[in-house]
Amino acid sequence: MTAGAVSEPEGPAAAPMLHVIGARIRARRAERGLSVERLSALSGISAGMLSLVERGKANPSFTTLLHIAHGLGVSIGWFFDSDETRPHSPVVRKSERRGIEGSTRPVDGIVREALTPSASGVLEAVWLENPPGFDSSATPYQHDGVEFGFVLSGTWDVYLNGERHRLEAGDTITYDCDVPHWHVNPGEEPTTAIWVVTPPRR
């Protein structure tokens, strides 16, 4: 599925969430003073596709939402934390982690699960699993804040403004997020890591 790929809403249960996500995108875009065309340029998603997503008429893929999140300057978890002001338990059980792509099920071997109770705090910690060959260089990240990464297993390449930093199990990295950065799994095994960003990309 390509970055702009979408599918029809899957049954009546999916429709309300799609409308909520669309409304949040539209509100955030207006808050930032962005036209649909400007958000299209920032995210790499066509204006027509953005219009469908904002109206809840399409079911965007994880990659599409990731591109839109970059354009809006928010974290991917922001789309799904619909009640950011509600009180949260300070404990996150392994079985209850929020899948920040809207599901705890892996997508093509990619897992993104929140380790913090919500995306509304001063930091956001995420459990990451990347399959062999994972490469986010097509959509470099650049936003406010600081990131800290701790590799638990496998090999993880972090590129900071094009400079590669290879991390093995037990290695950590810290960097300013205003530097364009992306991740690659160059190995033959999945990699797992914990990534922390402060403040969360909302």
* CATH of residue 99: 2.60.120.10
Per-residue pLDDT, 10: 46
Kindly report whether the global pTM for this prediction surpasses the value 0.75. Answer: no
> Radius of gyration of the chain from Cα atoms?
17
Per-residue pLDDT, 2: 38
DSSP 68-91: HHHHHT--GGGGT---TTS---S-
Residues 186 and 125 in one domain: yes
Residues 31 and 110 in one domain: no
Cα atoms in the 13 Å half-sphere on the side-chain side of 181? 21
State the amino acid at position 177 in one-letter form. C
Interacting residues of 91 by C-beta distance below 8 A, sequence separation 6+: 117
Residues 68 and 102 in one domain: no
Per-residue pLDDT, 172: 98
Residues 99 and 150 in one domain: yes
Structural domain including 133 reads 94-198
- Please give the DSSP secondary-structure letter assigned to residue 110: B
Distance between CA atoms of 189 and 182, rounded to whole angstroms? 19
Distances (CA, A) of 90 to 130, 136, 158, 198: 27, 31, 30, 17
User: Phi-psi category of 109—alpha, beta or left, where left has phi over 0 and alpha has psi -120 to 50?
Assistant: left
Residues 188 and 111 in one domain: yes
Residues 36 and 101 in one domain: no
pLDDT per residue rounded down to tens, the chain (202 residues):
334 444 444 444 456 778 888 888 988 888 778 899 999 999 999 999 999 999 888 888 888 988 998 898 887 777 776 554 355 678 988 888 877 754 445 667 888 888 988 766 678 899 999 999 999 999 898 888 899 999 999 999 999 999 999 999 999 999 999 899 999 999 999 999 999 998 776 5
Residues 98 and 68 in one domain: no
